[in-house]
C-alpha cells in the first residue's frame, strides 16, 4: 500500500487537481460489479481508518453540516439546556432537500478537534464517511466531494485506482 496522505492542505490541492480524473474513475467504477466493489471498499476502509486518528483531524466537523432528525434536535437541545425551538432558530437551517441541518461551520459541538457530544452525536456523524455501508457505487458523487475533505475517503479512493489499475 502507498504512503497514506493525511495533510489536509494537500488533500484540498489534490481534490482540485484530480477532479476530472475522479469523475472518470466514478464512471469506471459504476460499470464494475457492485458487490465486489463494496467488499474492496470495506477492506480498504478497515485498513486505512486504523491508520488515521480522527481526533487529530476533525475536518468533517469543520466543513460539513450534518442533517438531524427531530429526535436528535431534542436530544442536543436538552444537552444545551435550551428548547428545541430555540435550538432550531439558532443552529438549524434547511438544505435544498428541506432537511434540518446544523448551520454553523465549524460545528458548535467541535472542541479542540473532538466532538463534545460524541455519545449523543447524530447518526449522520456516526456513519460518516459511510464507507462501511453497502452501495458504494450509488454514493460516488458524495465520495468525490468528500475526497478533498476526509483523509480516509481520499486514501480509499486512491487505493481503489491502484486496485483496479485505473490510469
Binding site for ligand SF4 (CB under 6 A): 52, 54, 57-61, 66, 107, 109-110, 115, 117, 121-122, 125, 128-129, 149-152
Name the residue nearer to ligand SF4 (CB basis): 58 or 136: 58
Nearest of 50, 61, 42, 51 to residue 118 by alpha carbon: 61
Distance CA 24, CA 149 (A): 19
Distances (CA, A) of 2 to 20, 32, 57: 22, 23, 20
Name the residue nearer to ligand SF4 (CB basis): 29 or 152: 152
User: Which residues are registered as beta bridge partners of 114?
Assistant: 111
Name the residue nearer to ligand SF4 (CB basis): 34 or 75: 75
**CA 161 centroid distance within chain:** 19
Name the residue nearer to ligand SF4 (CB basis): 29 or 156: 156
| Minimum distance from residue 96 beta carbon to ligand SF4 (Å) | 19
| Minimum distance from residue 75 beta carbon to ligand SF4 (Å) | 11
| Minimum distance from residue 98 beta carbon to ligand SF4 (Å) | 20
| Minimum distance from residue 114 beta carbon to ligand SF4 (Å) | 8
3-state SS of 47-109? Answer: HHHCCCCHHHCCHHHHHCCCECCHHHHHHHHHHCCCCHHHHHHHHEEECCCCCEEECCCCCCC
| Minimum distance from residue 47 beta carbon to ligand SF4 (Å) | 14
Name the residue nearer to ligand SF4 (CB basis): 58 or 88: 58
The full length of the chain comes to 167
Amino acid at each position: 500500500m502507498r504512503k497514506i496522505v493525511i495533510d489536509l492542505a494537500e488533500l484540498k490541492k489534490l481534490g482540485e487537481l484530480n477532479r476530472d480524473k475522479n469523475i472518470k474513475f466514478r464512471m469506471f467504477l459504476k460499470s464494475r460489479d457492485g458487490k465486489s466493489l463494496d467488499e474492496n471498499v470495506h477492506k480498504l476502509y478497515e485498513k486505512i481508518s486504523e491508520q488515521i486518528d480522527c481526533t487529530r483531524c476533525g475536518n468533517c466537523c469543520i466543513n460539513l453540516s450534518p442533517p438531524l432528525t427531530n429526535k436528535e434536535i431534542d436530544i442536543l437541545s436538552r444537552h444545551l439546556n435550551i428548547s428545541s425551538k430555540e435550538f432550531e432558530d439558532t443552529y438549524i437551517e434547511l438544505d435544498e432537500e428541506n432537511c434540518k441541518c446544523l448551520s454553523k461551520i465549524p460545528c458548535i459541538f467541535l472542541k479542540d478537534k473532538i466532538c463534545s457530544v460524541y455519545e449523543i452525536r447524530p447518526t449522520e456523524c456516526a456513519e460518516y464517511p459511510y464507507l462501511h455501508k453497502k452501495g458504494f457505487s450509488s454514493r460516488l458523487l458524495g465520495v468525490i466531494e468528500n475526497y478533498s475533505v476526509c483523509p480516509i475517503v481520499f486514501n480509499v479512493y486512491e487505493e481503489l485506482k491502484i486496485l483496479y489499475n485505473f490510469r
